[in-house]
């Protein structure tokens, strides 16, 4: 009986060692590419020696530990391999973030909303002419507008690095997250891609309007012109590009794609006038958070000349006049506008504007309050385009 047990134990112990040797031999085939792998190899060899000189219990215990260390080692080797790819992923993520900031997202949203709103309005007015083939053309037009927007805001950042380090240190070039060479590559890519898309899809007239927009955006920022130095000229450029050219150009291109000749309808005339004046307000108020840097680099703006408080009142007053004009237009032209929507919505937006101006006054025109006010102005801009197709 005793012999039988001893024999049985021997067989079991031998089996354990055989499995352990097999596991160890398998593991030795793993390349020692990391300290974790080497550590695991040492543990396996040590456990094998211990099991050979001790009893069955110790051998079984070390075999269990060997399996555990093997899993740990595989995991460690896998993590080391993954870690090698992390810098590439980090660089891609950083570039994506810098690229998005380079595009100035609030301007992209305004451009995209404006074009989509005008296209939607044209389709609502001519529902019988809607074709699915127009979707691709509309999408290509949107990409061209975003490229044009990217070129204009990008060229401005390239020539405003010093000012942006004071006024907008979060912008990618000023923050050192995007090199000047990369920025030049992006703006040239935007310009070429936008021109190609427009030239191929929208004909010579729209292409000429697009070129005019790029030209005005260039002389706004690039020496020796640098028209942003002159307050009145700068306001007119911004109002022309974001107000007239965008609205007129998109609506004209849409009607041409539908096979119609261009005609000014009351809603389109309204939105073009409304947004042109709104763009003028944006041009005025955009300098409010930048007074410190503009004074340092001797950039003359109304904000540096007249003061932040006066410009905030001027911008709020012009926008208030805009909203009053919208309400009056709805009252006197009920056949052209949906008064039940146009009057209450613009009244509410006007009251929100007055409240925001009061908050700015109450905060004594701190930099944080000025930034919040300027952001609110853009939100009102988005809101106008959101409601336009339905008025």
Q: What is the per-residue pLDDT for 295? A: 75
Q: Nearest to residue 145, comparing CAs of 91, 103, 87? A: 103
Contact between 200 and 210 under an 8 Å Cβ cutoff? The reply is no
Do 272 and 215 reside in the same domain of the chain? Answer: no
Do 111 and 257 reside in the same domain of the chain? Answer: yes
Both tokens of 144, joined, read 């061209």
Q: What are the backbone angles phi and psi of residue 373, rounded to the nearest 5°?
A: -65, -45
Do 257 and 294 reside in the same domain of the chain? Answer: no
Mean pLDDT across 146-161: 96
40 or 86, which is more confident: 86
Q: What is the per-residue pLDDT for 294? A: 75
Both tokens of 23, joined, read 């596991």
17: buried, middle or exposed (CB in 10 Å: 19+, 13-18, 0-12)?
middle
Q: Which of 38-42, 105-109, 325-329 has the lowest mean pLDDT?
A: 38-42
Residue 189 lies in a domain: yes
Both tokens of 338, joined, read 């949906």
Residue 285 lies in a domain: yes
User: pLDDT by residue (tens digit) across 235-274?
Assistant: 899 999 999 999 999 999 999 998 888 888 899 999 999 9
Residue 258 lies in a domain: yes
pLDDT band at residue 231 using 50, 70 and 90 as cut-offs: confident
DSSP 162-177: HHHHHH-TTSHHHHTS
* ∠ Cα 169 175 178 (to 5°): 135
Do 199 and 329 reside in the same domain of the chain? Answer: no
Residue 376 lies in a domain: yes
Do 241 and 324 reside in the same domain of the chain? Answer: no
Do 114 and 258 reside in the same domain of the chain? Answer: yes
Do 196 and 298 reside in the same domain of the chain? Answer: no
Q: How many domains does the chain have?
A: 2
Q: DSSP letter for 202, please.
A: S
**Range 19-36 burial, b when 16+ CB lie within 10 A, else e:** ebeebbeebeeeeeebeb
Last residue within a domain, chosen from 224, 243, 263 = 263
Last residue within a domain, chosen from 215, 230, 263 = 263
- Return d(Cα 283, Cα 290) in angstroms, integer: 12
- Return d(Cα 141, Cα 191) in angstroms, integer: 14
Is the pLDDT at 11 greater than 60? The verdict is no
Q: What is the per-residue pLDDT for 5? A: 38
CATH number of the domain where residue 282 is located = 1.20.120
Residue 162 lies in a domain: yes
Do 210 and 151 reside in the same domain of the chain? Answer: yes
User: pLDDT by residue (tens digit) across 337-373?
Assistant: 999 999 999 999 999 999 999 999 999 999 899 999 9
List Cβ neighbours of 174 (8 Å cut-off, separation of 6 or more): 157, 161, 164, 165, 168
Last residue within a domain, chosen from 263, 286, 303 = 263
Helix (H) or strand (E) holding 36: helix 35-53
User: Which of the residue ranges 14-28, 117-131, 213-227 has the most confident prediction, judged by mean pLDDT?
Assistant: 213-227
- Return d(Cα 364, Cα 165) in angstroms, integer: 25
Do 242 and 273 reside in the same domain of the chain? Answer: no
Q: What CA–CA distances, in Å, run from 125 to 10, 222, 251, 282, 337?
A: 93, 41, 12, 30, 13
Q: Nearest to residue 387, comparing CAs of 117, 53, 85? A: 117
**Residue 313: CA count within 13 A, CB half-sphere:** 6
- Return d(Cα 356, Cα 89) in angstroms, integer: 42
Both tokens of 112, joined, read 């995209």
Do 110 and 231 reside in the same domain of the chain? Answer: yes
Do 335 and 228 reside in the same domain of the chain? Answer: no
Do 141 and 258 reside in the same domain of the chain? Answer: yes
5 or 94, which is more confident: 94
**Residue 311: CA count within 13 A, CB half-sphere:** 25
Mean pLDDT across 50-54: 39
The whole model's pTM is what?
0.74
* ∠ Cα 300 287 168 (to 5°): 110
Rg (CA), the chain: 34
DSSP 96-150: HHHHHHHT-HHHHHHHHHHHHHHHHHHHHH-GGG--THHHHHHHHHHHHHHHHHH
Residue 52 lies in a domain: no
What's the domain range around 349? 264-390
User: pLDDT by residue (tens digit) across 55-99?
Assistant: 433 333 443 444 444 444 444 444 444 445 578 888 899 999 999
Residue 63 lies in a domain: no
CATH number of the domain where residue 120 is located = 1.10.357.140
**Percentage of residues in the chain with pLDDT exceeding 70?**
78
Residue 297 lies in a domain: yes
Q: What CA–CA distances, in Å, run from 261 to 121, 193, 204?
A: 16, 27, 15
Q: CA dihedral in degrees (144, 146, 148, 149; nearest 10)?
A: 170
């Amino acid at each position: 009986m005793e012999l039988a047990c001893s024999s049985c134990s021997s067989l079991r112990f031998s089996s354990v060692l055989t499995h352990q040797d097999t596991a160890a031999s398998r593991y030795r085939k793993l390349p020692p590419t990391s300290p974790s792998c080497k550590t695991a190899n040492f543990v396996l060899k040590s456990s094998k020696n211990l099991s050979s000189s001790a009893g069955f219990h110790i051998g079984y215990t070390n075999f269990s530990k060997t399996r555990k260390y093997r899993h740990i080692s595989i995991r460690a080797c896998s993590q080391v391999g993954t870690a090698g790819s992390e810098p590439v992923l980090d660089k891609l993520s950083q570039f994506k973030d810098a690229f998005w900031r380079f595009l100035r997202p609030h301007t992209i949203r305004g451009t995209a909303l404006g074009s989509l709103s005008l296209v939607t309005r044209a389709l609502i007015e001519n529902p019988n002419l809607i074709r699915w083939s127009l979707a691709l053309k509309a999408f290509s037009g949107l990409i061209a507008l975003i490229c044009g927007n990217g070129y204009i805001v990008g060229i401005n950042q390239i020539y405003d690095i010093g000012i942006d380090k004071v006024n907008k240190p979060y912008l990618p070039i000023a923050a050192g997250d995007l090199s000047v060479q990369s920025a030049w590559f992006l703006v040239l890519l935007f310009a070429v891609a936008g021109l190609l898309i427009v030239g191929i899809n929208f004909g010579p007239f729209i292409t000429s309007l697009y070129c005019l927009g790029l030209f005005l955006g260039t002389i706004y920022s690039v020496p020796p012109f640098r028209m942003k130095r002159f307050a009145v000229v700068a306001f007119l450029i911004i109002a022309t590009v974001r107000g007239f050219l965008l609205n007129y150009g998109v609506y004209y291109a849409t009607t041409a794609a539908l096979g119609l000749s261009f005609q000014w309808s009351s809603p389109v005339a309204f939105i073009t006038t409304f947004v042109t004046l709104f763009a003028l307000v944006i041009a005025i108020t955009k300098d409010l958070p930048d007074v410190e840097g503009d004074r340092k680099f001797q950039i003359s703006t109304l904000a540096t000349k007249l003061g932040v408080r006066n410009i905030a009142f001027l911008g709020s007053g012009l926008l208030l006049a805009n909203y009053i004009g919208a309400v009056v237009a709805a009252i006197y032209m009920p056949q052209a506008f949906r008064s039940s929507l146009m009057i209450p919505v613009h009244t509410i937006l006007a009251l929100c504007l007055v409240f925001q101006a009061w908050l700015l006054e109450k905060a004594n025109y701190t930099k944080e309050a000025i930034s919040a006010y300027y952001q609110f102005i853009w939100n009102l801009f988005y809101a106008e385009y959101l409601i336009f197709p339905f008025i």
